[in-house]
Each structure stands twice: as structure tokens, then as C-alpha cells.
Amino acid sequence: MKKLIFPSLLATTFLVACGSDETDETSGNEAWNAIQESGTMTVATAGTLFPTSYHSEDDELTGYEVELVREIAALLDVEVEFEEIGVDTMTQALNSGRVHLAANSLAITEEREENFDFSTPYKYSFGSAIVREDDLSGIESLEDLDGKIALGAMNTTYMQKAEEYGATPTYFDNVTNDVYLRAVENGQGDVVLNDYYLQSITVNHLSDIAVQIHPTLFYDPSEQGMMMAKDEPLLLEAVNDALTQLLDDGTATALSEEFFEGYDVTELPDIDFE
């Protein structure tokens, strides 16, 4: 695989020093500087979100976004270390510099873009709902979420959507998918709003649990990307250049089809949304 080449920090600093009126280009690029110095990129991911970030039967961290990150690191000629944390902790870890990237089916929203930068999108999806098999949890539309108990993680766009429509939130902290499904089945909660592809594959793999994807409730087409701290232009450029190559050469599509059971999540499907 052809590696991407970026100018060394030494060369950048030298060029800046030659121009007395120029701003120091190394400022505001702490994450990229740290990656170049250590040779390692630290990436936050949940490790519990099948099939995008999870542990295989031999307990190896894998998944669509995990393997995509590894491909990016190979192109950038750096090692990658994963820190498995929940979405709420990811934002804190990015702001503190503890991690350089977050990759975890993170929707690109205006609210998030006020505080973070996002990579080029590499996953297009839409929202769906896991409900009980016998009665669809009494839900026909988003308006029916009013008074229902929605299960999810803090600070996700899906829990914000549930609360917007009047659902009562019950938060779980970075638990595996079966915990959510069992909670809906046994009535601890009524619904889980989340990504359609993640939910449909999870339900298929946990078919012994009496839940299903709501057959008509689809909403909010979204673009998802890797999140990083604001004002890190060199890191953003490097990640985007690598992602563009992986999207153009078919690597991202091949990974999608491998982990999403034949689905190509690099393109938004043609579907009617609520």
C-alpha cells in the first residue's frame, strides 16, 4: 500500500522562521506534532459497538472503524493505540489531548462541529428503533416516544432525539449490545434509537432475544466521521488524505461489506425517512 508523505515538522518550522510576518505553523497542531514525535496515534473507540468496534471471539479488538483506523495509520506510517471508552468520555479525552481521534459511529452534527472537527465522512446511515417483538413497544411514529423509556449512552445524538420527543432516558455506560436488547425485552426500557446498520445486524446476531427493528420508523439520514479536537489542521489534513485514498481505492467499501454483512455504508441508501 502506498504511504502518504507529509512535510517534516523541522521543514515547516524552518520555512516559517524565514518569514518574519508569518505565524508559527506548529502552533495549534499539538496532536499532529505529538503523533510525529512518538510515532503513535491514540484513538478512542468503545470496543462494545458491534460491528464497528468490538471484540472478536479471541478477544481481539476489531470492526469496520477499528480496521479503517488501522489502514489510516499504515498510510501515515505510524502505530495506532486504541483506548476503549464511552462516547461521553471521548469528548473529554479529545479536549485534554489524551487521545488524538475518536472513531465510533459519530454523527457529524452542527452542535458537535461547534466544539470539534470531523474527518471526511466514511459512513452514511440513518436512525432506526429496536422495540419489543410482540407490540412494537406501542410505538408507530417518533411522536409515540412521548412517555416511553429510551435506553442509550449519554451525549449521543440518538438519546437527544429520544428526549426531544418526550422519552424518559435511562443511561447505560459503555455496555454491550445484548444488555440493551435484554432490557427492552424484559420491559426495563421500551426502545433503543440508534444506527440502522448497527441495530439490524445486532438483532440478527442476537435472534434469541424477543426484539426487532421497527419496520417503518426510519429517520435522520446522517454522515459519520472521525472526531478530533478543534484547530488541528495538520492532523485533519493527514487523516482526510488517507481516508480519501481508502474511499477511492475501494478499501473502505471492502471493509464495510466485510463487517456490515454485504452493506456498503460508504454511500447513503435511497429510502423514505420520517
200-231, pLDDT tens digit by residue?
999 999 999 999 999 999 999 989 999 999 99
CA distances from 241 to 128, 133, 198, 244, 256 (A): 31, 44, 27, 5, 19
Res 270: pLDDT:
78
Cell of 193: 434509537
Mean pLDDT of 55-70: 97
For residue 40, list its beta bridge partners.
Answer: 79
> What value does the mean pLDDT take over residues 251-274?
90
Average confidence score pLDDT of the chain: 89
What mean pLDDT do residues 167-194 have?
95
Provide the pLDDT confidence category of residue 44 given band limits of 50, 70 and 90.
very high
**So where are the chain's domains?**
11-122+225-259, 125-221
Give the H/E segment covering residue 146.
none
pLDDT in tens, 186-201: 999 999 999 899 899 9
Residue of 128, 152, 127, 148 lying closest to 139 (CA atoms): 148
| pLDDT at residue 27, as a whole number | 53
Amino acid type, 80: V
Per-residue pLDDT at 6 exceeds 70: no
pLDDT at 17 over 80: no
Spatial CB neighbours of 127, under 8 Å, sequence gap ≥ 6: 158, 161, 193, 194, 195, 196, 218, 219, 220, 222
Dihedral over Cα of 200, 201, 202, 206: its sign: positive
Query: Is pLDDT larger for residue 99 or for residue 23?
Result: 99
Q: Which CATH number is 11-122+225-259 given?
A: 3.40.190.10
Element (H, E) at 31: helix 30-38
User: CA distances (Å), 206 to each of 76, 189, 211, 225, in order?
Assistant: 37, 17, 9, 27
CATH superfamily of 125-221: Periplasmic binding protein-like II (3.40.190.10)
Averaged pLDDT, 93-104: 96
pLDDT of amino acid 274: 67
Q: Do domains 11-122+225-259 and 125-221 have the same CATH topology?
A: yes
Strand boundaries in 46-174, DSSP class E: 54-55, 61-62, 79-84, 101-102, 116-118, 123-132, 149-152, 168-171
